[in-house]
Structure 1
Amino acid sequence: MTAPPHSLFLDASVEITGKDAPALEGAALAPGTRVNVTHLASEGLDARVEAARAVGERGLIPVPHLSARRLRSPSELAETLAALRSVRAVESVFVVAGDPTAPHGPYPDALSVIRSGLLEEHGVREVGIAGYPEGHPAIGAETLWSALEEKTAALREQNLAAAVTTQFGFAVDPVLRWLEETRARGVDVPVRIGVPGPAGVRRLLSYARRFGVATSTGIARKYGFSLTHLMGTAGPDRFLGTLAAGLVPERHGEVALHFYTFGGLEATSAWLSAAAAEVPPPRSPRSPAARTTAG
């Protein structure tokens, strides 16, 4: 790998679907790794709960997704939270509006779920929300900023911890600018930068088109793949090397990584395990005697 060793790799999270749960057995994930479980239309509650249970049983931290627009009623939200609580997978959740253009019930966005009061009632202690460094194809920039500010404020009012996980991208500059703007607007919660794990170029481009992620020739070249040669694979090495070099804690705040496992959980976890292994251990503080000797 070409990304320099960096502490970012030590607290990275990953994302799976319900059907990915069997792959957890062969994944090289460190104990305590946070594993997001998505809320897809094609997977019912039982599949998502089973995946969250499997995550917890392997010493990992389940973070189930709640897709606001897929929820048909408050009772369905309550049922979902109760089912997750039964497998000890409700302390941390990720709330997002979701793909449907029209809500299936009373929750048009993540904020409406947060304001329902049901999260805290069912034992949720931390709520993840989405961030969009490159914008959203269907939502204006100011609307996105207002939503981010309102969601973090609502969570603070309910004494719930907040964290932001961003959409993935292939360019570092928009991420750094977005982080600076986020902090300038007073949003000081931890941020996880979305990163695609190693995957085929065609697959990466397919997901990029789906989510409105920029893939110009210049961006692709900097990331490490060519738009004219689509048969290979690409990893996040260059992106993360540039990101690590550009992060300034005083300007960008608390930052970690979140890996989208487009190329499979095993490939992503193997890459991440290798990256974490290259990070040098923290230096121990010198003893008082050593400090005295050093003058």
Structure 2
Amino acid sequence: MTKISHATNRAASLNLMKDFSLEMTGKDIPALIEARPLIPLGTRINVTFLGNEDLEMRVAAAKAVRELGFVPVPHLSARRLKSRQQLEEFLGRLQEVDAAGHLFVIGGDPAQPEGPYSDSLAVINSGVLQQFGVREVGMSGYPEGHPSIPSETLWRALEEKSAVLQEQGLDTLIVTQFAFDTDPVAGWIDAVRARGINAPIRVGTPGPAGVKRLLGFARRFGIGANAMIVKKYGFSLTNLMGVAGPDNFVNDLAAVLAEHSAGGGPGLAGPVGLHFYTFGGLAETATWVRRFNSGQE
């Protein structure tokens, strides 16, 4: 294995942190305003599509992202859409506020579709997206699998969506579910590239947050969080009142990528960055990023 110096590892970590993206909900406009001075202008900010939020909240959040100097990436949950009309209304409203260029399309939580779209591919195949100025479509990646979807189904969906988006002339981006362990993430990236999918990948990374809160989200999304994994990540299951940040995770992932690159390994080729899930808040995550980049770990 090619040995990587500390200086090279640090450079790799900083490179991985470049052009990171963040996530917010429709309720987080005040938090975004507060965090604005801490976030680089032009940062991508994903706006979720939750069942307890409505059209006005989603559009208002996307508009705020744009007006504050960032790039809005609204989410669209296929199974939550009740009709083609609702899809067109949402995209039309986004286009009005100049927030339709980048879209993240997911299947969504409902077990049964509330309308005509059973999954994200059905939305992509509808032909509606381009009519409203969508230029790039993001899709989900699951390095540790999905609690209710077989692995082969996930891979088939990723391959099909990649092919269809390429045929449609739309740019593609993959954003993964968050993880605590770099090993399954690195293996999954390897497998993506081996399948000939060269789209940029943003690895889902938990921003700094309370340990108990992080574990709650991990259970909800089927993320591995046993004692060995969380110790590697940087916190202990015996201290649920503590706060954990992704320092170890980012450094470890950057080191793995650097080793593959230095060793000529083809598996991890292609652009890889980070997407932060702001479980502890936008300002807290942005502050952590600044501290990490300045070397104050």
Same fold (TM over 0.5): yes
Residue 276 of structure 1 corresponds to 293
User: Aligned partners of 2:293, 2:167: CA distance in 1, in Å?
Assistant: 36
- Counterpart of 2:18 (choices 7, 10, 23) is 10
- Give 1:228 shift: 1.7
- Counterpart of 1:263 (choices 260, 266, 280) is 280
1:178-217 → structure 2 map (5 Å cutoff) = 178-217=188-227
Query: Quick check: 1:232 aligned with 2:249?
Result: no
- What is the one-letter code of the residue matched to 1:215? A
Look up the SS of the partner of 1:90 in the other structure.
coil
Gaps of 5+ in 2: 1-8
Percent identity of paired positions between Structure 1 and Structure 2: 55
Whether the aligned pair in 2 keeps the contact of 1:192 and 1:256 (CA below 8 Å) is yes
- Give 1:31 shift: 0.6
- Give 1:274 shift: 2.6
Residue 291 of structure 1 corresponds to none
CA deviations over 1:116-144 (Å, ceiling 9, x no partner): 00101110000000000000010111111
Look up the SS of the partner of 1:56 in the other structure.
helix
Query: Quick check: 1:150 aligned with 2:166?
Result: no
- What is the one-letter code of the residue matched to 2:267? R
Look up the SS of the partner of 1:124 in the other structure.
coil
Residue 5 of structure 2 corresponds to none
Residue 20 of structure 1 corresponds to 28
Deviates further, 223-232 or 86-95: 223-232
Look up the SS of the partner of 2:230 in the other structure.
helix
- Counterpart of 1:169 (choices 171, 179, 183) is 179
- What is the one-letter code of the residue matched to 2:161? K
CA deviations over 1:19-55 (Å, ceiling 9, x no partner): 1111112211101100000000111010010000000
Whether the aligned pair in 2 keeps the contact of 1:37 and 1:62 (CA below 8 Å) is yes
Whether the aligned pair in 2 keeps the contact of 1:91 and 1:124 (CA below 8 Å) is yes
- What is the one-letter code of the residue matched to 1:235? G
- Counterpart of 1:134 (choices 138, 144, 152) is 144
User: Aligned partners of 1:12, 1:60: CA distance in 2, in Å?
Assistant: 12
Residue 65 of structure 1 corresponds to 75
- Give 1:275 shift: 2.8
User: Aligned partners of 1:238, 1:139: CA distance in 2, in Å?
Assistant: 29
User: Aligned partners of 1:274, 1:170: CA distance in 2, in Å?
Assistant: 20
- What is the one-letter code of the residue matched to 1:87? V
Look up the SS of the partner of 1:192 in the other structure.
strand
Corresponding residue pairs, total? 277
- Give 1:10 shift: 1.7
CA deviations over 1:220-255 (Å, ceiling 9, x no partner): 100011112100000000011100000135431210
User: Aligned partners of 1:52, 1:215: CA distance in 2, in Å?
Assistant: 33
User: Aligned partners of 1:277, 1:31: CA distance in 2, in Å?
Assistant: 18
> Which of the pair has more CA radius of gyration?
1
Deviates further, 18-27 or 202-211: 18-27
Deviates further, 50-59 or 244-253: 244-253
User: Aligned partners of 2:294, 2:58: CA distance in 1, in Å?
Assistant: 31
User: Aligned partners of 2:129, 2:294: CA distance in 1, in Å?
Assistant: 37
- What is the one-letter code of the residue matched to 1:255? V
Flag as ranges the 4+ runs of structure 1 deviating above 4 A. Answer: none
Residue 222 of structure 1 corresponds to 232
Gaps of 5+ in 1: 280-295
Residue 267 of structure 2 corresponds to 251
- Give 1:169 shift: 0.6
Whether the aligned pair in 2 keeps the contact of 1:10 and 1:276 (CA below 8 Å) is no
User: Aligned partners of 2:204, 2:61: CA distance in 1, in Å?
Assistant: 21
Whether the aligned pair in 1 keeps the contact of 2:82 and 2:116 (CA below 8 Å) is yes
Query: Quick check: 1:75 aligned with 2:91?
Result: no
- Give 1:273 shift: 2.4
- What is the one-letter code of the residue matched to 1:76? Q
- Give 1:277 shift: 4.1
User: Aligned partners of 1:277, 1:116: CA distance in 2, in Å?
Assistant: 46
Q: TM-score, normalised by structure 2?
A: 0.91
